[in-house]
A and B are shown apart, each in its own frame.
Chain A
Amino acid sequence: MKILVAVKRVVDYAVKVRVRPDRTAVDTGSVKMSMNPFCEIAVEEALRLREAGAASEVVAATVGPAQAADTLRTALAMGAARAVHVLHDPDPARPLLPLAVPQILRALALQESPGLLILGKQAIDDDCNQTGQMLAALLNWPQGTFASKVPSMLPEEEIHSHITWDAVQQHKEPFMPTDLRLNQPRYATLPNIMKAKSKVIKKVTPADLDVDVRSDMEVLRVDEPPKRKAGVILSSVDELLDKLKNEARVL
């Protein structure tokens, strides 16, 4: 079976983002970009399934501008066999929100016919937590969201979600957004990074896939969250209890 993994290029998780002065978007101009952490876990899980003999090939895909090819190279350096890059340059006022992405991924899935799709559970930039669920619906596949444990993929097998309900038995092509608890992603070694340079990245456009990219969402403004006023450092527990009782009145 083939596994298709969707990855996204986002602002690196360690970057403290700033809102642009014109309040139209978050400043992504000159900040470090990386693969979305949840996507890294998805790639790692796919590679482990391949290493366990449950999959024959891992294909990485992304939707995004030309620079998103770097993210695909990262997936290839980790061990994916090849990649598909769906070129799309979003307009900041109408960012590419879930709906277009699952439609594109659905078209890719129909071309590639993977036995399993793995996605991260959310991108750390738009925090939507939607693409996987929507993709499963469009393909009419079952979904196992927020997975934290995936035994080797065989029919009738269990996928554990970390949330307060657990273990969904899958019958057919399952598809799972992954959670942070699934695994520890590997680092790409230098030889693998070199090898990745010769792996194939196929470039297509949404039009090639017959997907009309539409956005049902218009960004009116992006604001800084309200600042909390600076607090005070206290010197004793007594002082703290006094403040909580008499100033904050929460005890």
Chain B
Amino acid sequence: MMNPTNSRTNDKCHCCLFGEPSPSHRTWRNPLLNITIVAKTKVSTLVVAEHEGGLVKPSSLSALVAAEAIAKENKVSLLLGGSGPALHKAAEHAAASHPLVNEFREGEEKLARQETDLHLLSLALQVLVADSDVFAHPLAEPWAELLRSVQQKGGYSHVIASSTSFGKNLLPRAAALLDVSPVTDVTAISEPRVFVRPIYAGNALCTVRYTGESPCMMSIRSTSFSPATESMSETKVAPITQVDLSFLSEASSRKSSWVNLTSQDTERPDLANARVVVTGGRGLKSAENFKLLEQLAEKLGAAVGATRAAVDAGYVPNELQVGQTGKIVAPELYIAFGVSGAIQHLAGMRDSKYIVAVNKDADAPIFQVADYGIVGDLFQVLEELLEKIPDKK
């Protein structure tokens, strides 16, 4: 398999481990570079998926969308890890089998989402399940060993995870074990090994070609690969295979251990995937005033976000932070109250479809990206909005 002392010569095929470009590969000329590229027609992708409550997470479905963007003829395997019934339920969901379909038929929106889920999940040829307590928590050390082992057996050309905290923690570690360079936060895929990723907090878009050995490992920005809603043409059930865990040594699983988790329990939609996001900045002045935002979010069925300034001032917990160092969101509607629009914040929301800004400073940079702006006192605007928006049915 992987040769750790990779001799990197130019006559090596870039996309696989054969020494010579093999005859089964097609070549084409890249007009940009005027060099001939040899590409393998066979792409196979491992998607490292996260699951919650017996379902594959939406961010991981985005990774499947990205897998589809790499190549239509992509042999996709989905890797799930964990233990207990939730894992097996998620594995069944990933395998897109029928029992789950019947379980959730309630409400049109849910159904639409499900059909999308199933359409995407039907891309997966097989579901690999790593069943062990070691994978019950997102600890990078055992997970990276798992990824290395699965890659060495499967010889995938691509490995994709979504750039969630889990993906960012795990993927680079696994890449180093496999002696390859990972690509972070891919937002577009133009060829199997050519990607676009934002740099400088999204102020520049960099198109890179991966020229290293297989696998090409990447984390994708889930908001750039949103699942298209389409109805199912066929339901196929992918086989579920248990991963052989004999590679796990006592040593690797003892490096770190999980102590506890403190998280915000909230009824509202998840910030990273919400259709509407309302965000408050330093201008809200207190944690008390953030309650007003929460009321508005309630009415709009929105998620609440915050700027770093609001987090640092202690108004809200830091998992609500939107920006380069927080969460990246791209909702249909983003409403910013008392947000000035620092570069680091814009990096986290500039791809929203519609941006509304309310700020009393007419020169605030946020107005340069806002589709609709109101210059005025945010508390008055908030109050009026709360009055005029009907309750969510």
A168→B210 contact, CB < 8 A: no
Most buried by A among B138, B211, B325, B375: B325
B285-308 near A? 1/0 per residue, CB < 8 Å: 000000000000000100000001
A129→B184 contact, CB < 8 A: yes
B204 at the interface (CB under 8 A from A): yes
A216-242 near B? 1/0 per residue, CB < 8 Å: 111111111100101111111110110
B373→A127 contact, CB < 8 A: no
B121-151 near A? 1/0 per residue, CB < 8 Å: 0000000000000000111110010000000
Most buried by A among B169, B205, B318, B324: B169
Chain A: CB-nearest residue to B219: A129
Residues of A within 8 A of B211 (CB): 215-218
**Interface of A with B (CB < 8 Å)?**
11, 13, 16-17, 19, 26, 97-99, 102, 121, 124-138, 141-146, 148, 158, 161-172, 174, 179-181, 214-225, 228, 230-238, 240-241, 243-244, 248, 250-251
Shortest Cβ gap from B235 to chain A (Å): 32
A237→B169 contact, CB < 8 A: no
A137→B174 contact, CB < 8 A: yes
Asked, given contacts A220-B33, A234-B374, A240-B372, whether A127 binds B174 with beta carbons under 8 Å apart, the answer is: no
B170-197 near A? 1/0 per residue, CB < 8 Å: 1111111100111111000000001001
B248 at the interface (CB under 8 A from A): no
Q: Main SS of the interface on chain B?
A: mixed
Nearest 5 pairs of A and B residues by beta carbon:
A216-B212, A137-B176, A133-B172, A134-B176, A167-B259
Residues of A within 8 A of B256 (CB): 142-144, 168-171, 174
Interface residues of B in 326-359 (CB under 8 A from A): 332-333, 343-344, 350, 353-356
Task: Name 19 extra pairs, CB < 8 A, besides A181-B318, A240-B372, A251-B300.
Answer: A16-B203, A17-B204, A99-B175, A141-B255, A145-B140, A158-B259, A161-B165, A163-B169, A165-B258, A168-B139, A168-B258, A219-B208, A221-B207, A223-B204, A228-B368, A231-B355, A234-B374, A248-B371, A250-B353
B169→A99 contact, CB < 8 A: no
B141→A225 contact, CB < 8 A: no
Chain A: CB-nearest residue to B276: A250
Residues of A within 8 A of B308 (CB): 180
Residues of A within 8 A of B372 (CB): 231-232, 234, 240, 243-244, 248
Shortest Cβ gap from A235 to chain B (Å): 8
Asked, given contacts A133-B172, A137-B174, A222-B204, whether A16 binds B199 with beta carbons under 8 Å apart, the answer is: no
Asked, given contacts A137-B176, A145-B168, whether A124 binds B184 with beta carbons under 8 Å apart, the answer is: no
Q: Please tell me the number of chain B residues within 8 Å of chain A, measured between CB atoms.
A: 87
A220→B207 contact, CB < 8 A: yes
Residues of B within 8 A of A241 (CB): 385, 388-389
B262 at the interface (CB under 8 A from A): yes
Q: For the complex, what is the distance from the CA of A65 to the CA of B68, rounded to whole Å?
A: 40
A169→B373 contact, CB < 8 A: no
Q: Main SS of the interface on chain A?
A: loop
Q: For the complex, what is the distance from the CA of A244 to the CA of B302, rounded to whole Å?
A: 15
B81-111 near A? 1/0 per residue, CB < 8 Å: 0000000000000000000000000000000
Residues of A within 8 A of B318 (CB): 148, 162, 181
Among A180, A217, A224, A236, the residue within 8 A (CB) of B210 is: A217
B203→A231 contact, CB < 8 A: no
Residues of A within 8 A of B371 (CB): 228, 231-232, 248
B250 at the interface (CB under 8 A from A): no
Residues of A within 8 A of B350 (CB): 225, 228
Shortest Cβ gap from A18 to chain B (Å): 9
Chain B: CB-nearest residue to A172: B255
Residues of B within 8 A of A228 (CB): 350, 355, 368-369, 371
Among B8, B138, B183, B202, the residue within 8 A (CB) of A217 is: B183
A237→B384 contact, CB < 8 A: yes
Asked, given contacts A124-B324, A163-B319, A231-B372, whether A214 binds B8 with beta carbons under 8 Å apart, the answer is: yes
Shortest Cβ gap from B66 to chain A (Å): 18
B141→A143 contact, CB < 8 A: yes
Most buried by A among B32, B185, B203: B203
